[in-house]
Amino acid sequence: MNIVVYVKAMVDPDKASDDLTLVSEPAKNGTAVILNPYDKNAIEVALQLKEKYTGEVTAVSFGGDIETEKVLREALSLGCDHAFKVNDEGYESLDAFSPMLGSVLGKVPVADVSYFITGREAADDNQSIIGASIAAAVDADFVDNVDEIEFLENHSLKLVSRWDQSELSGIYEKTPLVISVTDTINTPRLPSFKAKMQAKKAKLDEVKVSDLTDLDLTQLNNLREKVDSTGVFEPEVINKENIIYDLEQDEQAVDKLMDNLKEKGIL
Amino acid sequence: MNNQTVYLCATTDDQSEVEALQKVVQESFSTASITVVAFQSEALDQTKFQASFDQNVDAITFLNVEKLSVLDPNAVAKAYNQYFQKNDAGRIIFYANRFNNGIAARVAASNLSAIVTDVEKIEATDDHLNLVKKSYSGALKRQITVTDAAPLIITVNNSNITLEKVAAKETAVTEETLSIDYQVPKTAVYKSLVDNDNLNLDNAEVVVAGGRGLKGAEEFKNLEKLAENLSAAVGASRPVVDNGWVPNTLMVGQSGKSIEPDIYFAFGISGAVQHTVGIENVKTIVAINSDEKAPIFKIADYGIVGDAKEVIEKMTEITAQK
Ligand SMILES: Cc1cc2nc3c(=O)[nH]c(=O)nc-3n(C[C@H](O)[C@H](O)[C@H](O)COP(=O)(O)OP(=O)(O)OC[C@H]3O[C@@H](n4cnc5c(N)ncnc54)[C@H](O)[C@@H]3O)c2cc1C
């Protein structure tokens, strides 16, 4: 019974909006690259599965060298046993708008996997499609937006999926199972200093997209040609005409605000 | 390409879902051939759905899965897959929420189609679609061009558009019963979290929210008193929830709720994009923050630079006199 957890390197949203070129060239500034925050919760679930049951945790990351290495070492420092780099070979844009990345990730050679864990979404693309496509690639059921997990006897899991307006709870016995988790499911652990130092030296496994046999690259290329992202831009700043009172200068600030809101019919 | 059928897919009869799909017709596909494919369940009543869908469409089909005990996204996706195998799928559109995004992702994965979720704008031209969606949790937007991809799956988040009334023509309504190969998990329970009986973030016209600037759980008790005076619901930023000052259900933002009250008071909230993404459709934002440079003031209509505790106290006093 092994566990795979998928981790994504992304540019820190605050840094991305300061320098839009980072979005297409994250490696330009290694310090701007962070582990997708949702993936920290996914790693935590993977480690808990290992601790409650058995098996080893492999972290898998797709992308350019510098970025994947950084987040995989972070995953190792948190307690993952192995790390697998999937070299994008110029397929970097395939991940965002099609299920093809899931097809690639599902093919990464890790033996005897019972659980595939991902974060609910990547905080850069905000697509939330990866879990479903991994599930299709490995022919497993998919439980998404898992917000509560309980480890039962005989390797069965009680999971609660929580969406905006509804929830579904149930007991899942069948494996393999693909699970995507929310960022409110747990509080991720922090790495120890020693673990960080060890992770720096650890060996990473590596595979290229073209090494993955039984992957239909024609299909992959076809789909890629049809969807093109012409880039990111900053949202329009609505320069609001606002009325700001200062409590230190004006004792009546609160009264004035409330009067104003009432006068305008807002309150 | 522009004679491809547009399929509008619905999994609930919620007003926001029905309206969002109608806005897609109004904004982007007013001349296209349109079929609505609604998944019948405890969350979607056929009569109610049909009555509220009054935009011009060519057909409405209700999917019915035999013996489905709970609304499980795996089952819903399988039903849509079966439907789209029989019908030459063109463009498939869902209303964007976490449940539907999961369905859309599963359908896209099964037929390896292109997929863009949470799309704010769809511009249809003769030979391609221009889409705009949020990226970096709302800090940036991304432009995506899709040429001749079929099927293409989109989920839409278009609450900023106003729906105009039209005189709808008669629509052909059909029902399709499917049997799918899927077993729901053991002891599965599906629950709606919509609460129309009590005042809450989803239905309140006034929301008073607190952030880390409130310093502790104690000040939230005072905020509750103010909320009572204003008939308002209480909201919170993420650190407040993480610190256990208030329950999870009060969180506003990317990991919490997107809300649309008429007026939102933000006490001691800095205005990080992951928070403000949840209040972008609020009409009036009032910020109370001791730091005049806090980013929240950039999106506020009104504000007070000052101590949140003091302002809450004063406001509670003023509103109690009424
Ligand atoms: C993946 C991800 C998802 C996230 N999702 C969410 C989400 O859904 N919702 C959310 O809210 N956040 C979310 N966040 C966190 C977000 O980035 C911010 O950290 C958070 O919103 C900050 O909360 P805050 O404004 O309460 O705290 P702070 O940023 O610490 O701001 C506190 C504010 O209080 C002011 N203040 C201090 N003392 C006083 C006083 N006495 N009187 C008045 N003002 C005072 C300060 O000037 C400051 O502006 C998410 C982050 C990530 C990475």
**Continuous segment of H or E residues that includes residue B115:** strand B114-124
A64-79 pLDDT per residue, tens: 999 999 999 999 999 9
Whether the bond into A176 is cis, omega within 30 of 0: yes
Q: Is ligand 1 within 6 A of the CB of residue B254?
A: yes
Whether the bond into B151 is cis, omega within 30 of 0: yes
Alpha carbon distance A184, A192 (integer Å): 23
pLDDT-based confidence at residue B322 (cuts at 50, 70, 90): low
What residue spans of chain A are helical by DSSP H?
A: 13-18, 21-24, 37-52, 65-78, 94-97, 100-106, 130-138, 193-201, 217-226, 253-263
Under 8 Å between Cβ of B150 and B91: yes
Question: Ligand 1: which residue has its CA nearest to atom 1?
Answer: A37
Mean pLDDT of B266-281: 96
Under 8 Å between Cβ of B55 and B20: no
pLDDT for res B14 = 93
> Residues with Cβ < 8 Å from B297, sequence gap 6 or more?
A242, A244, B271, B287, B289, B303
A103-128 pLDDT per residue, tens: 889 989 999 999 999 999 999 999 99
The domain limits of chain A are: 2-226
pTM of the predicted model as reported, rounded to 2 decimal places? 0.95
List the single residue in B with minimal CA-CA distance to A223.
B114
| The domain made up of A2-226 is a member of CATH 3.30.450.40 | no
Q: Is the pLDDT of residue A11 over 70?
A: yes
Atom of ligand 1 lying closest to residue A123 CA: 1
pLDDT-based confidence at residue B2 (cuts at 50, 70, 90): low
pLDDT for res A28 = 87
> Residues with Cβ < 8 Å from B136, sequence gap 6 or more?
A11, A13, A16, A17, A23, A123, A124, A126, A232, B273
Question: Ligand 1: which residue has its CA nearest to atom 19?
Answer: B272
Alpha carbon distance B187, B183 (integer Å): 11
Mean pLDDT of B135-148: 91
The type of residue at A54 is T
Q: Is ligand 1 within 6 A of the CB of residue B308?
A: yes
What are the backbone angles phi and psi of residue B244, rounded to the nearest 5°? Answer: 75, 15
**B109 vs A135, A247, A261: nearest CB:** A135
Under 8 Å between Cβ of B70 and B182: no
Listed residue (A127, A97, A121, A108) closest to A208, CA to CA: A108
List the single residue in A with minimal CA-CA distance to B108.
A99
**A183 vs B101, B142, B255: nearest CB:** B255
- Please judge whether A165 and B318 are an interchain contact, meaning their C-beta atoms are less than 8 angstroms apart: no
Is the Cα dihedral B248, B251, B256, B262 positive or negative? positive
Q: Is the pLDDT of residue B178 over 90?
A: yes
Of A190-194, A227-231, B113-117, give the lowest mean pLDDT range: A227-231
| CA geometry: angle B23, B27, B32, nearest 5 deg | 100
Q: Which long-range contacts (CB under 8 A, 24 or more apart) does B122-129 make?
A: B122/B24, B122/B27, B122/B28, B122/B154, B122/B156, B123/B28, B124/B2, B124/B28, B124/B29, B124/B32, B126/B1, B126/B2, B127/B1, B127/B2, B128/B1, B129/B91
Mean pLDDT of B2-7: 82
Alpha carbon distance A203, A220 (integer Å): 30
pLDDT for res B59 = 93
B99-112 pLDDT per residue, tens: 999 999 999 999 88
pLDDT-based confidence at residue A217 (cuts at 50, 70, 90): confident
Alpha carbon distance B236, B245 (integer Å): 9
Tell me, in angstroms, the distance from the centre of ligand 1 to residue B165's CA: 40
Q: Which residue reads 């005989």 in tokens?
A: A154
Listed residue (B282, B7, B43, B59) closest to B170, CA to CA: B59
The answer to whether residue A237 neighbours chain B at the CB level (below 8 Å) is yes
Q: How far apart are the CA of B55 and the nearest CA of chain A, in angstroms?
A: 25
Q: Is the pLDDT of residue A93 over 70?
A: no
List the single residue in A with minimal CA-CA distance to B243.
A187
What are the backbone angles phi and psi of residue B234, rounded to the nearest 5°? Answer: -95, 135
In the structure, how many helices (H) and strands (E) does chain A have?
A: 10, 13
Tell me, in angstroms, the distance from the centre of ligand 1 to residue B56's CA: 44
Q: Is the pLDDT of residue B273 over 50?
A: yes
What are the backbone angles phi and psi of residue A104, rounded to the nearest 5°? Answer: -65, -50
Check residue B136 and report its DSSP letter.
G
Alpha carbon distance B81, B39 (integer Å): 12
Tell me, in angstroms, the distance from the centre of ligand 1 to residue B212's CA: 6
Mean of per-residue pLDDT scores for chain B: 93
pLDDT-based confidence at residue A241 (cuts at 50, 70, 90): confident
pLDDT for res B149 = 66
Q: What percent of chain A has pLDDT over 70?
A: 98
pLDDT-based confidence at residue A92 (cuts at 50, 70, 90): low
Which token pair is B68? Answer: 């489905």
Domains for chain B: give ranges and CATH numbers.
Answer: 5-178 (3.40.50.620), 206-320 (3.40.50.1220)
A159-170 pLDDT per residue, tens: 999 999 999 999
pLDDT for res B1 = 45
Q: Which residue reads 């997708």 in tokens?
A: A36
